[in-house]
């Protein structure tokens, strides 16, 4: 089963979230904490609801930078693999720190557009009241 989970760890006075993100496929999984404003997540959710617009569509959510001077880096890219609708979520994550804290992952999670549309819908709804963690699961195509 493929899965994404979102959990608010902390909220700053300016509403910035410390967000825990878990991404899992049948064979790989990763956990990443980052800082993000709710409107950035809402934009990502809206783009997922409309995915794909065409055969070359992709939706990207990114926080941080690959530059090692930044605190962290996470990039989630959802894109069309094949014209039959097969799509994937590409996850790149760089958790900086000294061992055992640091981690670097890059893998793909397969799905169909409807899976990513549902992820966008559920993420958008969850952002209205994110007290409880959000978990969205889907099967491989």
Tallying the residues shown for the chain, one arrives at 141
pLDDT at residue number 130: 96
pLDDT at residue number 14: 96
pLDDT in tens, 99-132: 998 999 999 999 999 999 999 999 999 999 999 9
| Residue among 83, 82, 74, 77 nearest 31 (CA) | 74
Domains of the chain, start order: 2-129 (3.30.2450)
C-alpha dihedral, 99 to 100 to 106 to 109, nearest 10°: -170
Strand order in the sheet with 103-111: 58-64, 72-80, 87-95, 103-111
Instruction: Say if residues 17 and 36 touch (Cβ distance below 8 Å).
Output: yes
Question: What gap in Å lies between CA 107 and CA 127, rounded to an integer?
Answer: 26
Q: How buried is residue 12: exposed, middle or buried, by Cβ count under 10 Å (0-12/13-18/19+)?
A: exposed
pLDDT at residue number 71: 85
pLDDT at residue number 68: 86
pLDDT at residue number 50: 97
Q: Which residues of the chain have pLDDT under 50?
A: none
Question: Considering Cα of 106, then 110, then 116, then 118, what sign does the dihedral take?
Answer: negative
Query: Residue 107's CB: how many other CB atoms inside 10 A?
Result: 17
Instruction: Say if residues 116 and 81 touch (Cβ distance below 8 Å).
Output: no
Question: What gap in Å lies between CA 101 and CA 28, rounded to an integer?
Answer: 18
């Amino acid at each position: 089963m493929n899965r994404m989970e979102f959990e608010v760890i902390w909220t700053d006075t300016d509403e910035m979230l410390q967000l825990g993100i878990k991404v899992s496929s049948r064979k790989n999984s990763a956990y990443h904490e980052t800082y993000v404003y709710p409107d950035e997540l809402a934009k990502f959710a809206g783009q997922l609801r409309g995915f794909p617009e065409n055969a070359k569509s992709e939706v990207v959510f990114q926080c941080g930078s690959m530059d090692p001077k930044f605190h962290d880096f996470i990039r989630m890219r959802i894109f069309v693999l094949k014209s039959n609708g097969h799509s994937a979520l590409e996850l790149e994550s760089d958790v900086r720190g000294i061992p055992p804290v640091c981690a670097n992952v890059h893998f793909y999670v397969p799905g169909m557009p409807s899976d990513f549309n549902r992820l966008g819908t559920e993420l958008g709804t969850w952002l209205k009241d994110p007290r409880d963690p959000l978990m969205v699961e889907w099967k491989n195509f």
